[in-house]
Structure 1
């Protein structure tokens, strides 16, 4: 069952220390498009790299995701410069459960961006959207994403095998963080 109502983007950016989470802007698109072609990002993502059409429709698709209640796409930005350093998204399974997905842009990896962004988003999702659970899924070989889940207080709930690229199966590790309660530590 899909989410049954639209989601209002945060009126002001979600702030936490050196990072903020905010809605997408046209000025973010160069960085988002470039990151969609990054080989390390491509290794873990199912989405195709953005072409000219995807770039042209990116903001409208993000707006439609909020309006439909399917997803809550945000940009991870440097709190001082407002430079985009990654993207993060809640993808709703229903009114109570969403999956968090994120990508940190190449020049900003290894600085703790992903755990801080996930904590901010999960805290907002549990407190403001009243979600019961946030799920984080990572390929078993993606040790960086597994560490993010662990650092943020997610607990492993299982794994599954699914088709991977070039017909090679892959194992996805599934983590959960439930509320109500405090945001991830």
Structure 2
């Protein structure tokens, strides 16, 4: 999966005065690694926590994701201090559709950061990259992510079941589309 063409990494952060979405830096890796051990982060995200080996190759994997058109991984930063407060990733299914995944670091949850970041990323994807649709998938038990989807203008379009080693889980699928697209 991915785009047929590479994505140009952001030359300037996407910002709204409170949060900024920017490229990852080596200085972001320790906070990302630490947040990845948080029980809520582990519960809701598919990716395993970053270990030392993954940390060493993280920036080259990020560069490869952009270069191959597979994904656009970014850091959510405080717009005033540039301190990393979360991560957000646009994962391309094809040239027209991508899925947004995000995580706000534990100390910054509950402050409206996730909706701001998702709005910025979805707007960029739909208007600057020309995507037809951005999806957000949330575990049916993840009330916070469901609220983020709804606050950001995503509309519930269905659900899907995902098999896991210890059973299955239901993911609710939300979509936000360009005005020219009917769903």
Shared fold (TM-score, shorter chain, > 0.5): yes
How far residue 180 of structure 1 moved from its aligned partner, in angstroms, is 4.0
How far residue 6 of structure 1 moved from its aligned partner, in angstroms, is 0.4
Contact 1:135 1:176 in 2 (8 A): yes
Unaligned runs of 5+ in 1: none
SS at match of 1:5: coil
Residue 79, structure 1, aligned to residue 75, structure 2: no
SS at match of 1:170: strand
Contact 2:3 2:94 in 1 (8 A): yes
Residue 148, structure 1, aligned to residue 148, structure 2: yes
Contact 2:139 2:169 in 1 (8 A): yes
Question: How far apart, CA to CA, are the structure 1 residues paired with 2:165 and 2:111?
Answer: 29
Residue 160, structure 1, aligned to residue 160, structure 2: yes
SS at match of 1:42: helix
TM-score normalized with structure 1 length: 0.95
Contact 1:126 1:180 in 2 (8 A): no
TM-score normalized with structure 2 length: 0.96
Contact 2:2 2:91 in 1 (8 A): no
Residue correspondence of structure 1 range 95-134 to structure 2 within 5 A = 95-134=95-134
In structure 1, the residue matched to 2:177 is 178
How far residue 118 of structure 1 moved from its aligned partner, in angstroms, is 0.3
Contact 2:17 2:80 in 1 (8 A): no
Question: How far apart, CA to CA, are the structure 2 residues paired with 1:112 and 1:165?
Answer: 33
SS at match of 1:9: coil
CA-based RMSD: 1.0
Unaligned runs of 5+ in 2: none
CA shift in 2, pair 1:165/1:37, >3 Å: farther
- Provide, for residues 87-144 of structure 1, a one-character-per-residue CA deviation record: whole Å limited to 9, x for no partner: 0000000001000000000000000000000000011111110000000000000000
Moved over 6 A (4+): none
